[in-house]
Amino acid sequence: MGIVAGLDSSPDFTRIVVCDTDSGAVLRQGYAPHPVDTPDGGGSRPSDVDPQAWLLSLGEAAGGGLLEGVQAIGVSAQQNAVVPLDAQGNTVRPAMVGGDKRAQVAAADLVDALGGREAWAQAVGCVPQAAQPVTKLRWMAKTEPENAVRAAVLMQAHDWLVWQLLGRPVRRTTDRGGASGTGYWSAAVGAYRSDLVELALGHQAMLPEVIGPAEAAGTTPEGLLISAGTGETMAAAFGLGIGLGDAVVSLGASGSVMAVHPEALVDSSGMITSLADATGMHLPVVTTLNAVRTLRGAAELLGVPDLEGLSDLAMKSTPGSHGLVLLPYLEGERTPSLPHTAGTLTGLRRESMKPEHLARAAFEGMLCGLADALDVLRGRGVEVRRIFLLGAAAELPAVQAAAPMLFGAQVVVPQPADYAAIGAARQAAWALGVSQGTLDPHTPPVWQGAAAQVLEPGEELAVGQAVRQQFVSVREQTHPGAFRS
216-252 pLDDT per residue, tens: 999 998 999 999 999 999 999 999 999 999 999 999 9
Q: pLDDT at position 100, please?
A: 66
Cα gap 468→372, rounded to integer Å: 9
Measured CA angle at 220 (ends 215, 222), to 5 deg: 130
Q: pLDDT at position 45, please?
A: 66
Q: pLDDT at position 85, please?
A: 98
Q: pLDDT at position 268, please?
A: 79
Q: pLDDT at position 485, please?
A: 52
Could you check whether the bond before residue 336 is cis, i.e. omega within 30 degrees of 0? yes
Residue pair 26/422 in contact by the 8 Å Cβ criterion: yes
Q: Give the model confidence (pLDDT) of 10-44 as tens digits.
A: 999 999 999 999 999 999 999 999 996 654 444 45
* Residues of the chain under the 70 pLDDT cut: 1, 36-45, 100, 485
Cα gap 169→208, rounded to integer Å: 12
C-alpha torsion angle, residues 266, 268, 270, 276 (rounded to 10): 10
Q: pLDDT at position 42, please?
A: 43
Q: pLDDT at position 484, please?
A: 76
Q: Give the model confidence (pLDDT) of 331-375 as tens digits.
A: 999 999 998 999 999 999 999 999 999 999 999 999 999 999 999
